[in-house]
Amino acid sequence: MTDTTTTAPATAAHGPVPLPPAAARLLIATGAVGTIASTFMSWTWTSAFPGDLTVYGYPAGLQILALVAGALTLLFALTLWNTKGLRWLNPAGATSPVFLTALSAFTVCWFTGIAIAVDLNGLVNLDPGAYVAMAASALPVIGALALPHPAPGTGLRGYLTKPSQPRPGTVSPLIERGIITAGTAVALIAFTYGIGIDNDASETFIGFLLLVVFAAWGLMHTGLVDRYATMAARHKGFASALAFVAAVIFPFTQSDDHNANVGVNILIFATVALGLNIVVGLTGLLDLGYVAFLGVGAYAAALVSGSEYSRFSGVHFPFWAAALTGMAASLVFGVLIGAPTLRLRGDYLAIVTLGFGEIFRITVNNLDGDSGPDITRGPNGITQIPDLDIFGFRFGEAHQIAGFTLGRFANYLFLMLIVTAIVVLVFTRAADSRIGRSWIAIREDETAATAMGINGFRVKLIAFALGASLAGLAGTVMAHVNYSVNPQPYQFAGAAPPNSAFLLAAVVLGGMGTVSGPLLGASVLYLVPEKLQFLQNYELLAFGIALVLLMRFRPEGIIANRRRQLEFHEIDQLDVPEQRTLADEPAATKAGA
């Protein structure tokens, strides 16, 4: 595979823990194996703890997570010992991946032990397996700290700074595609597992988050994530097609239509976030009232859906017409709001859009026949929106496909996938064009952009209107998925997505200006409140703390746009061609002065 010739870096003989390397390795190996073994034991006596950890012989719930974490620790420990065939996993020979994966096992096991003790009132409820797991998972952490320190003199911090990677060799395109396929499969499995965790089993979901965060962190330190990203960028079409296929496969893996419901809501949320990304991420216009456009689309679709509670109950558009109506309504609304406000810059624009967002919600609330004309039925909303029927495919009914039963939400999931694909296509194509460049130019320096001949107002209005109509499109589907529309969700900040604050957070969390960023950010922001029900009252608090931490430690978001990353961290160029020395002759002589 990759041809790397790294010599052992000249580092201190051992880390903060004074142990000879041999002992450290032994410690890591036994710890990892012990962790794996412990997952086959019983951790508690009662099945009252979520996930049923009582069975000897096969792991369940949190034990599976501990098993994966232990296996990863073992894997990366083996890469350090020049195991044949594993070297490519860790070309820099860094110790930090072992440390981080060991931490993932440690946190999962200790979290489980503590959670059992707290949930069931007392250490008494721990079975021997749990003690074994906690003890065994602690060993690799100690062992990793005893390994030669990657950057002497920096203390524990040295383990957490990303090691520099040798330039990766090249592999054949076929293998690269294979790797992308495998990566997509892993992502699908992880996502399916995460979404499949029972809503009451918050403990398992926290364990899942711990594992994912530490394992991803560890993988990033091996450089595998960067290399994977480069490969995916090289086979862009293939990678996105695969991601689409994986999303199509997802409903087939679910026996319960509830998860498809979660899936379709995530997709709606993510699609709207992607539309917002055009406005915020590309053009740099902070829009705090964006959810209103989703509402306009949803209301427009509801009004022409043929619902008997609609003001125009006789009107029943086919879906394509309803979708166009929703988009057009949002577009008009976007232009109406944009035209007067886009002359403002920065904070002023944010405040004005915030105001317009609220105006939409309050207006819709008041158009109930009492305080205004009866169009939206006020707080009651428009209910009993009929299910869609496209070419005789009835969305309201379950269908049997190849032995799998696909329920109502699975049907909508497929529809929403198509919508998302359209929005992704629009986003990528628009971003990589004359108009996209002018958006970015405006974000970078509006004065210079206008001096380069860009009509700032016009270009910003296009971005605003495009973002609005994409949100409107998602809104039309959402009205049908939820059977009803009412003003309540379309506020600035609320406990559950979608609302403007969450949408913006999804964009910022995922990574501004990228496609996958808002998709990932929206998934995380939808799943976390959904699965951690016990947070209910503190959700916004936790959300705020998480955002502050994110801005402190990774301001460019989970998936960093190359530009953003360079903006926030003064690091070297990432993927520019090798520096060539310039010709000695001065430039102008070449031009024939």
CB 53 within 8 A of CB 151: no
Distances 522 to 100, 231, 266 between C-alpha atoms, Å: 26, 24, 6
In what helix (H) or strand (E) does residue 389 lie, and over which residues does it extend? strand 389-390
Question: Is residue 157 close enough to count as binding another protein by CB under 8 A?
Answer: no
Choose the binding region for another protein from 98-106, 144-152, 429-437, 523-531 (rule: CB under 8 A).
Answer: 429-437
Q: Which of 44, 73, 265, 438 binds another protein (CB under 8 A)?
A: 438
What's the CA angle centered on 453, arms 452 and 457, to 5 degrees? 115
Residue 441 in contact with another protein, rule: CB under 8 A:
yes
Inter-residue long-range contacts of 403-408, CB under 8 Å, 24+ positions, other chains counted: 404/251, 404/252, 406/251, 406/252, 406/260, 407/257, 407/260, 408/257
Rounded CA-CA distance 171/272 in Å is 37
* CA 366/CA 374 separation, integer angstroms: 8
Which residue stretch of 296-304, 341-349, 431-439, 499-507 sits at the interface with another protein (rule: CB under 8 A)? 431-439
580: left (phi over 0), alpha (psi -120 to 50) or beta: beta
Answer yes or no whether residue 424 interacts with another protein by CB under 8 A: no
Binding window for another protein (CB under 8 A); candidates: 131-139, 224-232, 251-259, 585-593: 585-593
Are the C-beta atoms of 412 and 479 separated by less than 8 Å? no
Binding mask 509-548 for another protein (x = CB under 8 A): ----------------------------------------
The least CB distance from residue 237 to another protein, in Å, is 13
Binding mask 459-478 for another protein (x = CB under 8 A): ---x---x------------
Return the SS3 of 485: strand
For another protein, the closer of residues 402 and 591 by Cβ is: 591
Give the span between the Cα atoms of 78 and 179, in whole angstroms: 21
Q: Is 400 exposed, middle or buried (0-12, 13-18, 19+ CB in 10 A)?
A: exposed
User: In terms of CB distance, is 315 or 426 closer to another protein?
Assistant: 426
Cis peptide before 251 (omega within 30 of 0): no
328 binds another protein (CB under 8 A): no
Buried b (16+ CB within 10 A) or exposed e, 12-38: eebbeeebeeeebbebbbebbbbbbbb
Q: Which residue from 126, 145, 454, 473 is in contact with another protein, where contact means CB under 8 A?
A: 454
CA 287-288-291 angle, to 5 degrees, is 95
User: Residue 433 or 533: which CB sits closer to another protein?
Assistant: 433
**By CB under 8 A, is residue 554 in contact with another protein?**
no
Residue type, 496: A
Does 453 interact with another protein (rule: CB under 8 A)? yes
Q: Does 147 bind another protein (CB under 8 A)?
A: no
Which span sits near another protein by CB under 8 A: 199-207, 285-293, 393-401, 563-571? 563-571
Amino acid at 140: P
Contact residue for another protein among 455, 538, 548, 551 (CB under 8 A):
455
- The least CB distance from residue 575 to another protein, in Å, is 8
- Out of 240, 366, 450, 484, the residue judged to bind another protein by CB under 8 A: 450
**Judged by CB under 8 A, how many residues of this single chain contact another protein?**
45
Q: What angle do CA 500, 289, 548 make, to 5 degrees?
A: 45
Q: Of the two residues 241 and 452, which places its CB atom closer to another protein in the complex? A: 452
Q: Is the peptide bond before 18 cis (omega within 30 degrees of 0)?
A: no
The C-alpha atoms of residue 446 and residue 283 are separated, in whole angstroms, by: 10
Instruction: Look up residue 378 and give its amino acid.
Output: G
Listed in sequence order, the DSSP H helices in 81-148 are 96-119, 128-146
10 binds another protein (CB under 8 A): no
Bridge pairing between strands 393-394 and 389-390: antiparallel
CB of 226: closest distance to another protein in angstroms?
A: 17
Q: Binding another protein by CB under 8 A: which of 77, 279, 449, 515?
A: 449
CA dist 101 and 75 (Å) reads 9
Q: Does 433 sit near another protein (CB under 8 A)? A: yes
- From 445, 488, 545, 548, residue interacting with another protein (rule: CB under 8 A): 445
Q: Is 552 in the site for another protein (CB under 8 A)?
A: no
Q: Which of 12, 245, 339, 452 binds another protein (CB under 8 A)?
A: 452
Q: Which is nearer to another protein, 374 or 567 (CB)?
A: 567
Site for another protein, residues 565 to 584, rule: CB under 8 A: 566-567, 573, 576-577, 580, 582-583
Q: Does 345 bind another protein (CB under 8 A)?
A: no
d(CA 279, CA 178): 35
Cβ 548 to another protein shortest distance, Å: 24
Residues that bind another protein (CB under 8 A): 425-426, 429-430, 432-438, 440-441, 444-445, 447-456, 462, 466, 563-564, 566-567, 573, 576-577, 580, 582-583, 586-593
